[in-house]
Amino acid sequence: MTTESTTELAQPAGLDSTAAVAAAAAAAADVDREARFPHEAVAAMRAAGLLSASLPADLGGRSASITELAHVARKLGAACSSAGMVFAMHHTQALSLRFHATEGPVAALTRRIAETEALLASSTTEITTGGDTGSSTCAVVPDGDAIVLEKNAPVISYGAYADYICTTARRSAESPPTDQVLVLCPQDETELEQTSQWDTLGFRGTCSPGFLLRTRTSPDHVVPVPYSTISAHTMLPSSHTLWGSVWLGIADAAVDKARVQVRSAARRTPGQTPPQAAKLADLLVLHQRFESSVATELRRYEDFLASGEDEPTIGFAIAMNNLKLDTSLAVVDVVAGALALTGINGYREDHAASMGRLLRDAYGPQVMVSNDRIRANNSKLVLAYRGRA
Ligand SMILES: Cc1cc2nc3c(=O)[nH]c(=O)nc-3n(C[C@H](O)[C@H](O)[C@H](O)COP(=O)(O)OP(=O)(O)OC[C@H]3O[C@@H](n4cnc5c(N)ncnc54)[C@H](O)[C@@H]3O)c2cc1C
């Protein structure tokens, strides 16, 4: 039997995240305290080619698998959850390009994004529609040989730092709210008027205030596939698997801190098992269930991608929604359990065992597209579903 941590993961062959994880960990406390962008970690991601990793190899990326990306997201999440969320959110957009923007004029843009290690943000929610990402009020409007788009976005993570903001909008001013497209708004052709602050409980380094976004860009920047297809095939499953992996990283960090505390208690009472050890054993049950849930759904998504199908089944959509519901609650349970185990040291802000940042971050997942919205979507899906999710 070895004494290795259950949270250790093998480094995926193609993606070396060592420097990015180290940079993220070193700056995590300051990023949280100052609610500032984790620029050191993102610079290290760029330097290691991690931002282009999910883009297609024949357009300058590395066609990394969702499982490889999830490994890195988890490591980053354990080091600094804001840096992890930036990585995860970026790749949900990059994967959308990989699967839906490789042909026609938009392919040149995908290549440029890969070659420049560009950072992609997303604006899917809107003041008028809240977390209902499947409908938009704003619309793409032709303007000479360009298009214009104006969106009132309640939240755009790292919007001020991104090279492109991938924005959902109605296809045209005449289109119904659900007939949406995805538009890549380049930083140098987009005006961002900040409309709110980002002074939040957790995920403070994602720097996600509201913006009035105005862009005038080329019609080639509209992804030529309906957003409903992009969402079902890529955006929703990649978000829920990669976000869940970051949140699992938060749980890893909490368990690792708890383990150090239990070992230190054991050293103080040689020959006796400290009472905290039983709590740690219980905590590992929750953690293992969390890990299994992410691993199972990653496999499900890999299988779906390998099938080459365009449209996932209803059962797949429910499973991906369940992953988000499950992991967004599991992360709170694990961190809260770790806090109960570490006692006053975990409660202190100035102790190595502090759970403060992890606990605050752990409450973000439930509102990051409200769980109530996801339950409401599931309640519609189950009416048409005859299998077992
Ligand atoms: C850290 C973080 C980063 C984010 N980054 C981005 C980003 O980069 N880009 C982006 O577009 N968005 C992002 N979001 C998501 C965005 O903040 C919210 O999903 C969006 O602003 C909606 O906010 P809301 O929860 O107030 O609105 P709503 O979704 O309207 O929810 C408001 C309330 O209404 C209730 N509710 C709504 N609908 C239902 C229903 N059908 N049934 C029952 N109850 C319901 C919910 O319980 C909720 O309490 C991010 C969120 C977080 C936490």
* Residues 309 and 374 placed together within one structural domain of the fold: yes
**Residue located nearest, by CA, to atom 53 of ligand 1:** 368
Q: Let me know how many helices (H) and strands (E) the chain has, helices first.
A: 12, 7
Q: Are 364 and 202 in contact (CB under 8 A)?
A: yes
* Residues 362 and 376 placed together within one structural domain of the fold: yes
Q: What is the CATH classification number for the domain harbouring 46?
A: 1.10.540.10
371 C-alpha to ligand 1 centroid (Å):
8
Q: pLDDT for 93-134, tens place per residue?
A: 999 999 999 999 999 999 999 999 999 999 999 999 988 899
Domain boundary among 98, 115, 132: 115
* Residues 170 and 266 placed together within one structural domain of the fold: no
131 C-alpha to ligand 1 centroid (Å):
4
* Residues 275 and 362 placed together within one structural domain of the fold: yes
CA-to-CA separations, 290 to 196, 243, 249, 281, in angstroms, rounded: 34, 13, 11, 14
* Residues 317 and 377 placed together within one structural domain of the fold: yes
Q: What is the DSSP string of 239-276?
A: HHHHHHHHHHHHHHHHHHHHHHHHHHHHHHSTTS--TH
Rounded to an integer, the average pLDDT of 306-327 is: 96
CA-to-CA separations, 95 to 5, 101, 129, 240, in angstroms, rounded: 31, 9, 24, 13
* Residues 252 and 357 placed together within one structural domain of the fold: yes
The answer to whether position 9 is within a domain reads no
**What is the rounded end-to-end Cα distance, in angstroms, of the chain?**
36
Q: What is the CATH classification number for the domain harbouring 191?
A: 2.40.110.10
**Three-state secondary-structure class, residue 16:** coil
* Residues 189 and 293 placed together within one structural domain of the fold: no
The answer to whether position 66 is within a domain reads yes
Cα–Cα distance for residue pair 245/248, rounded to 1 Å: 5
Please say if the pLDDT value at position 2 is more than 50: no
The answer to whether position 212 is within a domain reads yes
* Residues 237 and 356 placed together within one structural domain of the fold: yes
Q: pLDDT for 67-103, tens place per residue?
A: 999 999 999 999 999 999 999 999 999 999 999 999 9
* Residues 183 and 285 placed together within one structural domain of the fold: no
CA-to-CA separations, 349 to 38, 223, 228, in angstroms, rounded: 20, 46, 44
Tell me 3's DSSP state: -
The answer to whether position 57 is within a domain reads yes
Domain boundary among 89, 115, 141: 115
Tell me 10's DSSP state: P
Task: Point out the ligand 1 atom lying closest to the alpha carbon of residue 375.
Answer: 42
The answer to whether position 4 is within a domain reads no
Name residue 130's beta-bridge partners. 126
CA-to-CA separations, 298 to 40, 151, 169, 235, 241, in angstroms, rounded: 29, 33, 29, 14, 6
Mean pLDDT rounded to a whole number for the chain: 95
Q: pLDDT for 194-214, tens place per residue?
A: 999 999 999 999 999 999 999
The answer to whether position 242 is within a domain reads yes
Ligand 1: which of 119, 208, 212, 360 to mutate, most ligand atoms within 8 Å of CB? 208
Q: Which residues line the pocket of ligand 1, CB cutoff 6 A? A: 89, 121-125, 130-131, 154-157, 203, 206, 208, 364, 367-370, 372-373, 376
Instruction: State the DSSP H helix or E strand holding residue 166, giving kind and residue range, or none if neither.
Output: strand 164-170
266 C-alpha to ligand 1 centroid (Å):
44
The answer to whether position 32 is within a domain reads yes
Q: Are 384 and 314 in contact (CB under 8 A)?
A: yes
Task: Point out the ligand 1 atom lying closest to the alpha carbon of residue 124.
Answer: 11
Range of the domain at 101: 18-115
Q: What is the CATH classification number for the domain harbouring 257?
A: 1.20.140.10
The answer to whether position 36 is within a domain reads yes
Number of domains in the chain: 3
* Residues 241 and 370 placed together within one structural domain of the fold: yes
* Residues 375 and 232 placed together within one structural domain of the fold: yes
Domain boundary among 57, 86, 115: 115
Model confidence pTM above 0.85? yes
Which of 11-25, 184-198, 229-243, 271-285 has the lowest average pLDDT? 11-25
Please say if the pLDDT value at position 358 is more than 50: yes
Q: Are 218 and 48 in contact (CB under 8 A)?
A: no
370 C-alpha to ligand 1 centroid (Å):
5
* Residues 135 and 36 placed together within one structural domain of the fold: no
